[in-house]
Amino acid sequence: MPVLHEGRLVGILSRGDLMRAFARSDAEIEEDIRQEVLLHSLSMSPDELDIEVDGGEITLRGEVDAEFLAELLPPEIQRVPGVVAVRSELTTRGRPAARATARRGGD
């Protein structure tokens, strides 16, 4: 299945991609976010943020050291198989960061 954004091809979803998204538990998705995104990709402590996963929809809460991390996290987490949407309620050094919401397929 082609994935379009503003009329341009931005990706292809295979049957396997779709099956993986539906076959993963919220606990598996959360573990991947903590280990693969936070720890390995960004060298953050896996327990540094509050991550709520409900049906593949992610809510991030907590404080990060820099604004760029608050902006980088939602699209990085969106790449984890099974993630449907990401809502960020992160703050940067005690002040609210820009709210970010990401959904699969550019919605």
Could you report the per-residue pLDDT of 58-91, keeping only the tens digit for each? 999 999 988 889 999 999 999 999 898 999 999 9
The tens digit of pLDDT for each residue in 5-40 reads: 899 998 888 877 776 666 789 999 999 999 999 988
The pLDDT assigned to 16 comes to 72
Residues 6+ apart with CB under 8 A from 89: 59, 60, 61, 99
Q: Please state the domain count of the chain.
A: 1
> If pLDDT is split at 50, 70 and 90, which confidence band does 99 have?
low
Domain that includes residue 34, residue range: 2-106
What's the whole-model pTM score? 0.67
Q: What are phi and psi of 82, to 5 degrees?
A: 100, -15
The mean per-residue pLDDT over the stretch 42-56 comes to 91
* Domain CATH for 42: 3.30.1340.30
